[in-house]
Amino acid sequence: MGVVIIDGTTVKDFVSDEVQFKKSVDERFAALDLNNDGVLSRSELQKAFESMILIETHFGIEVATPPDQLTQLYDSIFDKFDCDQRGTVDLDEFREEMKRLCWQKKR
């Protein structure tokens, strides 16, 4: 497995290229929208998180996170994306939060 190091300049350049950034974010949104209804539900976003291998380590030892803590984490992330608090995340909300996260990371 290769390792890619992305610095703040790379992120800034990517986000600044509005066409490429929008295309990338829109493709990710479409992949997450499992039922193709144009919005992300809490369960769709949770399935995306669960599909990622999230391993916590403490001094090289894998630590299992209790399911209730993972649910709280997933819910808090969903709530950040669901700006209008309608219980779904539309494409505009997804784009804005992704842009905010990317700009925040570069600082």
Q: Is the pLDDT confidence value at 47 over 80?
A: yes
**Beta bridge pairs of residue 90:** 39
Domains of the chain: 8-106 (1.10.238.10)
Q: Cα dist. 16→9, 21, 74, 77, 103 in Å?
A: 10, 8, 28, 24, 10
pLDDT at 106: 46
Round to whole Å and give the CA distance between 62 and 96.
Answer: 34
User: Given pLDDT bands bounded at 50, 70 and 90, which one contains residue 43?
Assistant: very high
**Beta bridge pairs of residue 62:** 57
